[in-house]
Amino acid sequence: MRPRRNEPISNDKKTPGLPARTAALRLLDAVCRRGETLDQAMAGAIAKLHNPSDRSLAHNIAANVLRWMTALDAMIDSATRKRLPDDAKARMALRIALVQVLVLETPQHAAIATALPLVHGGPRRLVHGVFSTVMRGLETGKLALPEYPQLPGETWDRWVDRWGEETALAAGQAWSQPPPLDLSFRDDKQNSLDGETLADRHVRMTSGQSVTTLPDFDGGRFWVQDLAASLPARLLGDGTGKTILDLCAAPGGKTMQLAAAGWTVQAIDSSAKRLDRLRENLARTQLDAEIITADLMQWAPSEPADALLLDAPCSATGIFRRHPDVLHCIGAHQIADRAEVQKMLLNRVAPWVKPGGQLVYAVCSLEPEEGEDQMDEFLDSHPDYRLIPITQDQLPPAIAPTAEGYIRTLPTMLADKGHCDGFFIANLRRKDRT
């Protein structure tokens, strides 16, 4: 539609490629200033971007700015006399322009032409000047992007303190690329996919592939699930003739594993929207589970189950590869908050397992407060539970149990094959009454 006379033509329409960059700026603003997750921010951005390639470019720019922010900021700071405030629009526009040149291989002229309108009415000359200075620095070799992203300072300090420098460096390496595509399978039948099998019923494809275009996706034999995320349900083994409470179940990767292993599953989650995805997943894979929308702090089962899987809400710092926003948003305060929620959930659900039954606790977090410390406290305060140490024969070869018998997947594991998510998993048994 032609603009009406006197109606200003928006910059978006005059500059090709600008809508995606404007959306990237909005996404980054939502994450860095309003504390939204990138996924939440994407939901808002999608309404404004009709072209799927613009959506994926906007997401790609924002995700890579979040990954490379420390290095981009160091370059920007090397080219300014007075440091730009962290939340200045000019800094964000520069990060967006630089990441395109340095990581996404966008030509310089396109990167700067689409960055300048982002600071409309603001310091365009400054942005242009800093961009040009950085480009010269790159040409002369004075500046260079490091091989891997550096973690944000607080995360770096925390992880060096908890896991050591080698692990923190491996996390930077893991952060540099979107993760490979891991698939879990419903059964042991042969498949025709061209990937690597790292465990039973698992195939790892290279990243960048879209799952919906893989052969037999509609046949429902597999679903996307990181190898580490598949470990909690593996510990529960064959469930034929037995009941399980799958608590905090949505969107349902573990529910499908449990149903495929023969368990009679009640899958409970408080998010109706996430449970809709679980329903779709079950329909596609032709697997069965009873779905209950409920807050676990209000709901209770009519009788205890043979087993229970609590995949508790957590800081999610273990899934930083696919959610690059998480390391910018999570600090000591949020970790303490989540640990408190996990403690309440564990205390509430502990009586829901039959005597002699199994409780598997999992979090996709790299914070001991949500894992090892949580279990120490739980076992101290619940003498009716004991730890069943996990052994190597229950795990893929690349993942070793800890000395205590927990699973603690770290960024150093599977580093030559694309890494895996950071999980903590504990296997407990409720003592028999006798």
Residues belonging to the active site:
364
Shortest distance (Å) from residue 257 CB to ligand SAM:
8
Total of chain residues touching ligand SAM, rule CB under 6 A: 17
Kindly list the distances between the CA atom of residue 16 and the CA atoms of 10, 103, 114, 125, in Å, as whole numbers in the listed order. 12, 20, 8, 21
- Distance, CA of 71 to CA of 147 (rounded, Å): 10
Does the footprint of ligand SAM cover residue 318 (CB under 6 A)? Answer: no
If 0-12 CB within 10 Å is exposed, 13-18 middle and 19+ buried, where does residue 16 land?
exposed
Specify the residue, 68 or 361, whose C-beta has the smaller distance to ligand SAM.
361
Among 204, 234, 242, 254, binds ligand SAM (CB under 6 A): 254
For the chain, the residue count is 434
Does the footprint of ligand SAM cover residue 251 (CB under 6 A)? Answer: yes
Among 149, 252, 324, 357, binds ligand SAM (CB under 6 A): 252
Which DSSP string do the residues of 313-324 spell out, in sequence order? ----GGGTTT-T
Shortest distance (Å) from residue 226 CB to ligand SAM:
10
* Residue of minimal Cβ distance to ligand SAM: 248
- Distance, CA of 37 to CA of 323 (rounded, Å): 8
Q: Of 22-30, 55-63, 96-104, 295-303, which part binds ligand SAM (CB under 6 A)? A: 295-303
CA dihedral (30, 323, 23, 51) positive or negative: negative
Does the footprint of ligand SAM cover residue 366 (CB under 6 A)? Answer: no
Shortest distance (Å) from residue 41 CB to ligand SAM:
18
Q: Of 79-87, 135-143, 185-193, 244-252, which part binds ligand SAM (CB under 6 A)? A: 244-252
Specify the residue, 25 or 181, whose C-beta has the smaller distance to ligand SAM.
181
Among 176, 270, 334, 394, binds ligand SAM (CB under 6 A): 270
360: β partners: 309, 427
Kindly list the distances between the CA atom of residue 274 and the CA atoms of 281, 295, 304, 366, 429, in Å, as whole numbers in the listed order. 11, 13, 25, 23, 29
Specify the residue, 180 or 252, whose C-beta has the smaller distance to ligand SAM.
252
Structure tokens at 238: 């064959």
Does the footprint of ligand SAM cover residue 271 (CB under 6 A)? Answer: yes
Does the footprint of ligand SAM cover residue 422 (CB under 6 A)? Answer: no
Shortest distance (Å) from residue 31 CB to ligand SAM:
20
Exposed e or buried b per residue across 274-290, where buried means at least 16 C-beta atoms within 10 angstroms of its C-beta: ebeebeebbebbebebe
Shortest distance (Å) from residue 187 CB to ligand SAM:
19
Shortest distance (Å) from residue 262 CB to ligand SAM:
18
Does the footprint of ligand SAM cover residue 250 (CB under 6 A)? Answer: yes
Structure tokens at 382: 């619940």
Q: Starting at the earlier edge strand, list the strands of the sheet with 202-205.
A: 202-205, 181-185, 222-224
- Distance, CA of 360 to CA of 354 (rounded, Å): 13
Among 36, 226, 306, 311, binds ligand SAM (CB under 6 A): 311
* Positions 80 through 99 that interact with ligand SAM (CB under 6 A): none
For the chain, give me the number of helices (H) and strands (E)? 15, 11
* Positions 165 through 204 that interact with ligand SAM (CB under 6 A): none
- Distance, CA of 97 to CA of 333 (rounded, Å): 32
- Please, are residues 90 and 71 in contact by the beta-carbon 8 Å criterion? no
Does the footprint of ligand SAM cover residue 226 (CB under 6 A)? Answer: no
Shortest distance (Å) from residue 313 CB to ligand SAM:
4
Shortest distance (Å) from residue 312 CB to ligand SAM:
7
Specify the residue, 318 or 418, whose C-beta has the smaller distance to ligand SAM.
318
Does the footprint of ligand SAM cover residue 274 (CB under 6 A)? Answer: yes
CA dihedral (373, 378, 383, 385) positive or negative: negative
- Distance, CA of 60 to CA of 62 (rounded, Å): 6
Q: Of 54-62, 191-199, 246-254, 393-401, which part binds ligand SAM (CB under 6 A)? A: 246-254
- Distance, CA of 218 to CA of 181 (rounded, Å): 17
Does the footprint of ligand SAM cover residue 313 (CB under 6 A)? Answer: yes
Among 19, 179, 180, 253, binds ligand SAM (CB under 6 A): 253
Does the footprint of ligand SAM cover residue 360 (CB under 6 A)? Answer: no
Place of tokens 């964000």: 92
- Distance, CA of 136 to CA of 139 (rounded, Å): 5
Q: List residues near ligand SAM by CB under 6 A.
A: 248-254, 269-271, 274, 295-297, 311, 313, 364
